């Protein structure tokens, strides 16, 4: 009988990122490791808590939203004008199971698209506009030392 060799990769369950990734693959959400836990205080201190608060703000008001990026939808501007043919994006940031919709106009998108990925913990400086809010400046919390406890 011929012997065969098998190699089995055992995940490092002491690594919170590994555990989170496995939980995401198995059930689509975290169970034991909240990836946003290290950032909750900074989000609570700097950001509005509910997307409904945006409706009470006036156009041009600036504020922050924070949470985890759950969707990035890039699009190409098809309306004739100075941004025709340029890429922009719509981003969803989720916090406490609430979704914040953010428009990212072409100039901001071109300078920040390499910084923002689905799953990233962020605080976005945004401005209220006639339809909701648009991104002024993104901040990745996992890249800011003060964002971690």
The per-residue pLDDT for range 63-115, each reduced to its tens digit, is: 999 999 999 999 999 989 898 999 999 999 999 999 999 999 999 999 999 99
Q: For residues 43-67, give the mean pLDDT.
A: 96
> What CATH number corresponds to the domain at position 50?
2.40.50.140
For residue 146, pLDDT beyond 70:
no
Considering the domain architecture, whether residues 71 and 130 belong to the same structural domain is answered as yes
49 and 81 together in one domain: yes
What is the domain extent for residue 126?
A: 35-147
Are residues 114 and 81 part of one domain? yes
Shared domain check, 39 and 5: no
Residue 3 and residue 57 in one domain = no
99-132: burial string, b at 16+ Cβ within 10 Å, e else: ebebbbbbebbeebbeebeeebbbbbebebeeee
Question: How far apart, in whole angstroms, are the C-alpha atoms of residue 5 and residue 14?
Answer: 27
Quickly state the pLDDT bin for 148 (edges 50, 70, 90).
very low
Distance CA 34, CA 135 (A): 25
Q: The tokens of 64 are what?
A: 């922050």
Q: Do 72 and 27 share a structural domain?
A: no
Q: Are residues 58 and 126 in the same domain?
A: yes
Same domain, 53 and 98: yes
Encoded tokens for 69: 């990026």
Average pLDDT on 32-40 reads: 84
* Same structural domain, 27 and 40: no
Total count of domains within the chain: 2
Shared-domain flag, residues 42 and 103: yes
Report residue 30's pLDDT band, with 50, 70 and 90 as the boundaries. low
């Amino acid at each position: 009988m011929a012997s065969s060799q098998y190699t089995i990769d055992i995940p490092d369950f002491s690594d919170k990122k590994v555990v989170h990734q496995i939980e995401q693959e198995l059930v689509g959400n975290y169970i034991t490791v909240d990836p946003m836990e290290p950032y909750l205080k900074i989000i609570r201190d700097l950001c509005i808590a509910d997307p409904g608060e945006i409706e009470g703000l006036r156009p041009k008001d600036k504020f922050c939203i924070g949470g985890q990026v759950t969707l990035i939808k890039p699009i190409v501007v098809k309306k004739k004008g100075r941004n025709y043919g340029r890429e922009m994006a719509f981003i969803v940031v989720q916090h406490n199971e609430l979704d914040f919709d953010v428009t990212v106009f072409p100039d901001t998108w071109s300078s920040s698209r390499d910084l923002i990925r689905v799953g990233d913990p962020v605080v976005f400086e945004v401005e209220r506009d006639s339809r909701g809010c648009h991104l002024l400046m993104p901040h990745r919390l996992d890249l800011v030392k003060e964002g971690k406890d």
